[in-house]
Structure 1
Amino acid sequence: MGQITVFSGPERRRRWSDEQRLQILTEAFAPGACASDVARRHEISTGLLYTWRKKLAAQTAPSADDLSVTGFAEAIVVADPDAPRSGSGPALVVDLGRGRRMTIFPGASAVLVAAALRVLR
């Protein structure tokens, strides 16, 4: 007859529910939070935090089918002689990931920039 060895102690691989993962991610990436402190408190590696964040972003990202839909938006150009020229001065380039980039010129209104970033996010 063979011999059986039973190992007891803490389970090496823990299971996290989606709610627990989301709660930990929210805590770790809140403004002013330190991801390594949160990871240490929950006894997980910081690499696992970033893996969870990457998987969550992939789940919530629009699919290729959503991006292939084309449409038209009405554009209205209003000439304002007092407005600064958009070509003058430096521009801010925002890299949004997945090959998307937005250039913001000094003459752009804050409301327009906020709306465009909200749509492109």
Structure 2
Amino acid sequence: MEIINGVERRRRWRTEDKLRILAEIDAGARLAVVARRHDVSRGLIWQWRDAQRRGRLAVETPSFVPVHVVSALPGAEAMERVGGASCPGDALEGERSVEIVLPDGTRLRVAENIGAAALRRLLLVLRG
């Protein structure tokens, strides 16, 4: 059951759900029956079919991103001389920090006094 409240009165269908519904029709089920079962209009399913035929409805495939390896992080020597942390996560141990756990399980530990703009940039990068 899906509860729709607030200003938005339309359901937002995930691409995976659209493709699953279209697969039922491709397997031989009647469009009207599938539409009733999922409480979606037949016209919307036709739009999804058209989008699928034109290649506009596809699950985004995972891809690799370029990585640049550096020999040392800036300031790493200073941390070693002071007996500081060997990795960025350990650098916060002496400070008060906040740990943020994202829905996908990613953990982000930041200093408690991080600026809103910096935190926003970090979260945008993590979301991809």
In which range does the TM-score fall when normalised by the shorter chain?
0.3 to 0.5
TM-score, length of structure 2 as denominator length: 0.36
TM-score, length of structure 1 as denominator length: 0.38
